[in-house]
Structures are given as structure tokens and as C-alpha cells.
Amino acid sequence: MGELFDARFLRRLESLRYAARRIPRGGRPAEQSSRSLGGGVEFADYRAYVPGEDMRRVDWMVYLRLGKLFSRLFTEELDLPVHVALDLSDSVFLPPERGRAALQAAAAFSWVALSGQDRVRVHPFGADPLPGFGPVSGKRSGMRLLDRLEGLGPSGGTGIEKTLRRIRGLAGRRGLLVVVSDFFSPSGIQGVLEELGRQRHRLLLVQLVHPHDADPPFQGEIRVVDCETREERDVTVTPAVLERYRSAWKGFQEELRSFALRRGAYLLPLQVTVDVISQVEALFLGGRLPL
């Protein structure tokens, strides 16, 4: 492990778990309770005995009281598919604190899943989807995943919509999609929200926020350079211009919040100049994140 993910970083995540209420059928044994009723260990319900069923499931105490045969049903403990879409566009790494927080957030949400024996697949992207890794499960695989994350860096433009479309086209069961991004896109926030709205997975949106996003420290004559396209523009920053910018930023934030509320998604505005794990811990009330 490197400086981004030291032993203390991982220890602080050990007590956190995703708590999925309903897991689609077809997974493998793990720690999540599936809606599939069968040969698990946690009692769920009774149903009338059907001839040919395993007699070991019959509750004989109920038979003695009621004179009728009932089978006991148990929940199966299955894994939760977890996808992590990680924005590596140049805008995420400007300033560097934002990029560092992005990598730590992706590592944190991945490690929580791996600690619960869930399966994780990471989808990094720049202008286009980049080679991903996974699905993996277990902490041994998790260490290799952290090594991969440690080596990632700025990767050009922003192609968040392309990556979301690729994830949507993947076969597999419904699970959790964690999107770690600043959610800036040349097409605007609406295009991103439209793609998010088409996802079948439960959504956890981690927005990377720097204090200068809401209140840039500029005034007077400046030259603005797009960090991804390298386009330059000379701007005169007056109080009126700053006010229009702040208004646009508030509108951007409100659209993201409104979408999360309508969709029932989690939204974590991650302050990149503040300890990442403390903010992640605050999201997991009582150590659990209900899904």
C-alpha cells in the first residue's frame, strides 16, 4: 500500500457495511440477505408444506399445536454487485486535492463492499471508458485493487455519459452503482442526469467539491484556460460576473440534489479539503448504509 491507503485508512472502514434489503437471485454466498427464500440460516417465514419438500424444514412444534404441516423458510445470504464509476478527467485533478479525494473515495466504497464479501467492479474513465478491473471479492483481491487505484491519474477529457451507458449495457444482477465524479460535462448536467436516470442499479453519487467551486477567488482581468480542451478565454471578473457564476453553481447543485431526491439515490457532496473517511463514516449511520 502507498500513502493514499495506509493501514489506518483501511481500519477505519472495517466497521462499515452495505445493508441491502433485497438482493436479486443468482448471487453467491456472502453477507447480504436475499429476497430468495431457501436454504439459508436466518428464519424468514412459514408456508404450507407441499408434498415432496424436505421434511427437515417442517416445524413439528407448529404441527403439534395446529395439527397442520408448515415448512420453515430462510433467507439466503448472497453477495451484492457493486460498480464504482471513477472520474479521472483532468478537471478532477485540478486542484490536486480533488483527485486525491476521488481515489480515496473509490477505495473506501470498494473496500466496504469487499469487507462484506460483495463483488466489486471498478470503471475508471476519462474522455472515454478506460480499462476497468474486477469483478473481485475478498480482501486479498482488494489489496490488488488498491494498488491499481494508487497508480491512476489524470486521463484527459470527461466522458461520464459514455461510461454510464457502458455500465447500463452490462449483463448481471441489479446492485449498487457508486459514481465518484465532479459531474462536470461538456453536455451539461442534464445529459449526465438522463444517463443516471436510465440505470437499474441503486445509486450512490459522490460529488467532489472544492471550496473554490462555489466562490472562486478571482477578480479583475484574467485568462481562463479549460484544463481539458486547453481553450483560452479572457474574462473581466466583476462583482456582477461573480454573482452570475455563483447563481449558476447553485443551480447546478440544485439539479443534482433534486435528481437524487426523485430517484431515491444517496448524494454525498464530498468536501475534498476535509478528511474523506470522516465524511464516508457519516453516511453510514450506525455503520450501515441501507440499500
pLDDT in tens, 212-248: 999 999 999 999 888 888 899 999 999 999 999 999 9
Closest CA to 118 of 83, 74, 150, 82: 82
Instruction: Read off the amino acid at residue 133.
Output: F
Give the DSSP letter string of 202-252: EEEEEEEE-HHHHS----EEEEEE-TTT--EEEEEE-HHHHHHHHHHHHHH
The pLDDT of residue 1 is 54
* Same domain membership, residue 72 and residue 88: no
User: CB-based contacts of 214: which residues, under 8 Å, 6+ apart?
Assistant: 246, 249, 250
Quick one: CA torsion of 15, 150, 274, 257, rounded to 10 degrees?
A: -80
* Same domain membership, residue 120 and residue 57: no
Task: Render pLDDT for 48-71 as a digit per residue (tens, 0 to 9).
Answer: 777 767 777 788 888 888 888 887
Does residue 119 carry a pLDDT above 70? yes
Beta bridge partners of 222: 235
CB-based contact 23:176 (threshold 8 Å): no
* Same domain membership, residue 170 and residue 63: no
Beta bridge partners of 268: 206
User: CB-based contacts of 3: which residues, under 8 Å, 6+ apart?
Assistant: none
* Same domain membership, residue 253 and residue 156: yes
Half-sphere exposure of 256 (CA within 13 A, CB side): 25
Q: Flag the least confident range among 44-53, 127-136, 161-170.
A: 44-53
C-alpha cell at position 44: 424468514
Q: Flag the least confident range among 13-27, 261-275, 276-290.
A: 13-27
| Structural domain contains residue 137 | yes
| Structural domain contains residue 23 | no
* Same domain membership, residue 255 and residue 283: yes
| Structural domain contains residue 2 | no
* Same domain membership, residue 86 and residue 74: no
| Mean per-residue pLDDT of the chain | 86
* Same domain membership, residue 183 and residue 39: no
Task: Render pLDDT for 96-115 as a digit per residue (tens, 0 to 9).
Answer: 999 999 999 999 999 999 88
The pLDDT of residue 128 is 94
* Same domain membership, residue 39 and residue 123: no
Question: 188: domain CATH number?
Answer: 3.40.50
> Of the candidates 37, 61, 78, which is a domain's last residue?
78
Chain centre to alpha carbon of residue 262: 17
* Same domain membership, residue 169 and residue 249: yes
* Same domain membership, residue 203 and residue 61: no
* Same domain membership, residue 210 and residue 167: yes
Range of the domain at 41: 29-78
User: What value does the mean pLDDT take over residues 127-152?
Assistant: 89
Coil, strand, or helix at residue 141? helix
* Same domain membership, residue 174 and residue 131: yes
The pLDDT of residue 20 is 59
